[in-house]
Amino acid sequence: MKLTIRPIGTAAVARLQPGLVRRSFATQHTLGNSPATSKRKSVTPFNDDGYVPWHELTASEKASRATQQTFNFGLVIVGLVLTGGVGYFLYQDVFSPDSKTAYFNRAVDRIKKDPQCIALLGDSKKITAHGEETMNKWRRARPIASTFNTDAQGNQHLMMQFYVEGPLNNGVVNAHLTKPAGHHDFEYKYLCVDVRGHPRIYLENADAKPSSGENKKYKLFGVSWN
């Protein structure tokens, strides 16, 4: 038995082509219009990297991104405030010309140049100074004992105490500086060094100085005359 194969005519092919074209177009059109949200993870404040454009976010995702950006901005502000606070503290306590560290360094320089202090402590190059004794063996970490206050007249007072060590002896340094109201610079009321077994050495002593510009007064018959 023989099977007879009949060729398909041109007219039959023409009738089939429109159906194939419509089916292929419908399939491509459906794939092309699939929403982008079905192909990506939902955006949250914890996984948002800013890659998804704003216009493609849903309302909840936009809220998540806004929350994340607000939190990041708050961290930046806190960091700036902390950095400014640390910088201000360092300037006031270390770098300012009126800081206690600056006056501590100046007082130590005065002691190293004073002949009486050198005679009692030893070689000026080997004289060291430090603050209060602590468990820390690193001398630079020992704090300088100091007080700062303003009296009723508006005068500022800075008082310091620290220690000096030399090849011959050790000593205690006391300093009292005052800034009168309306003035810009501190002045020494006293700066002295105490070494056990020796008289106190005064490098500055305002009480022992005669008042500048003070006119002498003479008394005659109970009346003061300039």
Q: What is the mean pLDDT of residues 126-152?
A: 79
Higher pLDDT, 148 or 21: 148
The pLDDT of residue 68 is above 60: yes
Q: What is the mean pLDDT of residues 161-190?
A: 92
Residue 147: other Cβ atoms inside 10 A: 11
Q: Which phi and psi angles does 39 have, rounded to 5°?
A: -105, 0
Q: Which phi and psi angles does 162 have, rounded to 5°?
A: -150, 180
Mean pLDDT rounded to a whole number for the chain: 77
Q: What is the DSSP letter of 93?
A: I
Which residues face 194 on adjacent strands?
172
- Segment holding 148, helix H or strand E: strand 145-150
pTM of the model: 0.56
The pLDDT of residue 123 is above 80: yes
**Whole-number pLDDT of residue 58:** 86
Half-sphere exposure of 57 (CA within 13 A, CB side): 18
- Evaluate whether 189 touches 173 at the Cβ level (below 8 Å): no
How many residues are there in the chain?
Answer: 226
The pLDDT of residue 69 is above 70: yes
**Whole-number pLDDT of residue 12:** 53
**Whole-number pLDDT of residue 21:** 47
Higher pLDDT, 209 or 49: 49
Q: What is the mean pLDDT of residues 62-71?
A: 86
- CA distance linking residue 98 with residue 104, whole number of Å: 10
Q: Which of 166, 172, 165, 176 is nearest to 196 (CA)?
A: 172
Q: What is the mean pLDDT of residues 155-171?
A: 94
How far lies 144's CA from each of 42, 100, 219, in Å?
A: 58, 8, 49
